[in-house]
Amino acid sequence: MRLTGQSGIDAISRLMGFLLVCMGAQFAINGSLEIIQTIIDANFSHLR
């Protein structure tokens, strides 16, 4: 804490929170795309 100070710790905390939100959004996007692809494959597999 001595090295960065209180404002540095606040900035690092905000940055880590932002990265966590980005990772969560990426997991949600990847999961949604996987579900959509599975549905598409299941519905159109008989056309092949």
| Ranges of each domain in the chain | 5-47
Task: Measure the CA–CA gap between 22 and 11, rounded to whole angstroms.
Answer: 17
Query: What is the pLDDT, as a whole number, of residue 17?
Result: 98
List % helix, strand, coil for the chain (3-state, nearest 5): 90, 0, 10
CA dihedral 48, 34, 32, 46 (to 10 degrees): 20
Query: What is the pLDDT, as a whole number, of residue 34?
Result: 97
pLDDT tens track, the chain, 48 positions: 678 889 999 999 999 999 999 999 999 999 999 999 999 999 887 776
